[in-house]
Chain A
Amino acid sequence: MKRTSLKLSIAALALSAAGAMPVLADKASDTLNVAFTKELENVDSYFNSSREGVVMQRAVWDGLIYRDPVTNEYKGNLAESWSWIDDTTLEFKLRQGITFHNGEVFNADDVVYTVNFVADEKSGVKTQRNVNWMKSAEKIDDYTVRIHLKEKFPAAIEFLSGPVSMYPNEYYAEAGPSGMGLKPVGTGPYKVTEVIPGQHFKLEKNENYHDSPKGQPTISKIDIRTIPDVNTQIAELFSGSLDMIWQTPADQAEKLAQMGNFTVANESTMRVGYLAMDAAGRSSMDPNPFTDVRVRRAVNHAIDRKAIVDNLLKGSSKVINTPCFPSQFGCQEDKAVSYDYDPEKAKALLAEAGYPDGFKTEFYAYRNRDYAEAIASYLNAVGIDTDFKMLQYSALRELNMKGEVPLSFMTWGSYSINDASAMVSQFFKHGSLDDARDDQALADLTVADSSTNPDERIEYYGKAINRITDQAFWAPMFSYNTNYVFKTDVDYQPTPDEVLRFTTMKWK
Chain B
Amino acid sequence: MLQFILKRLGLAILVAITVSFISFSLLFLSGDPAAALAGETASGEDIEALRRLYGFDRPMLVQYFDWLASALRGDFGESYYFKLPVAGLIFDRLEVTMLLGVCGISFALLVAVPLGVAAAMRPNSIIDRLALFMSVAGQALPSFWFGLILIVVFAIKLGWLPPSGTTSWQNFVMPTIVLGYYAMPAIMRLTRAGMLEVLNSDYIRTARAKGASEVRVMFKHALRNAIIPVVSLAAVQMGFMLGGSIVVESIFALHGAGYLAWESIARNDLPTVQALILIFSMFYIVFTFLADVLNAWLDPRMRSS
Contacts and interface: CB of A to CB of B under 8 A. Distances in A.
A124 B156 CA distance: 46
A485 B151 CA distance: 20
Interface in B30-84: 30-33, 35-36, 38-47, 49, 53, 81-84
30 contacts: A1-B294, A1-B297, A2-B109, A16-B172, A21-B168, A39-B255, A39-B263, A49-B38, A126-B39, A127-B46, A129-B46, A181-B83, A197-B82, A197-B89, A225-B165, A226-B253, A229-B144, A232-B148, A235-B155, A235-B156, A236-B164, A239-B163, A241-B165, A392-B36, A393-B35, A393-B36, A394-B33, A394-B36, A395-B31, A397-B35
B99 interface: yes
B122 to A, nearest CB: 24
B3 interface: no
Contacts of A238: 156
A103 interface: no
Interface string A192-216: 0000111100000000000000000
B304 interface: no
A13 B148 contact: no
A16 B155 contact: no
Contacts of B251: 229, 231-232
A193 to B, nearest CB: 16
A287 B137 CA distance: 54
Interface of B: 30-33, 35-36, 38-47, 49, 53, 81-84, 89, 92, 99, 102-103, 106, 109-110, 144, 148, 151-152, 155-156, 159, 162-165, 167-172, 250-253, 255, 259, 263, 266, 268, 294, 297
Most chain B CB within a 10 A radius of its CB, from A1, A129, A178, A232: A232
Nearest to A416: B41
Top 3 nearest A-B pairs (CB, nearest first) are: A394-B36, A394-B31, A432-B44
A5 B45 CA distance: 55
Nearest to B32: A398
A462 interface: no
A17 interface: yes
Interface of A: 1-2, 5-6, 8-9, 12-14, 16-17, 19-22, 39, 41-42, 47, 49-50, 121, 124, 126-129, 177-178, 181, 196-199, 225-229, 231-232, 235-236, 238-239, 241, 391-395, 397-398, 401, 413, 415, 426, 431-433
A415 B45 CA distance: 17
Contacts of A393: 31, 35-36, 40
B163 A13 contact: no
A19 B253 CA distance: 18
A22 B250 contact: no
Given A22-B162, A49-B41, 18 more contacts: A9-B102, A12-B99, A21-B168, A22-B168, A22-B170, A128-B49, A129-B46, A178-B83, A225-B165, A228-B259, A235-B148, A239-B162, A391-B31, A393-B36, A394-B33, A395-B30, A401-B47, A433-B44
Contact of B39 (A49, A395, A401): A49
Contacts of B152: 235
A504 B145 CA distance: 37
Nearest to B266: A392
B43 A426 contact: yes
Contacts of A239: 155-156, 159, 162-163
B83 A177 contact: yes
Contacts of A181: 82-84
Q: Main SS of the interface on chain B?
A: helix
A16 B255 contact: no
B214 to A, nearest CB: 21
A228 B32 contact: no
A155 to B, nearest CB: 15
A177 to B, nearest CB: 6
Contacts of B32: 394-395, 397-398
Contacts of B103: 9, 12-13
B89 A22 contact: no
Given A128-B46, A394-B33, A231 B165 contact: no
Contacts of A395: 30-32
Nearest to B39: A49
B163 to A, nearest CB: 4
A127 B42 contact: yes
Contacts of A121: 49
A433 B266 CA distance: 22
Contacts of A41: 81-83
Contact of A198 (B53, B255, B268): B255
A457 B41 CA distance: 23
A227 B259 CA distance: 11
A32 B76 CA distance: 37
Nearest to B255: A199
Nearest to B249: A228
Contacts of A39: 255, 263
Contacts of B170: 17, 21-22
A431 B255 contact: no
A14 B106 CA distance: 15
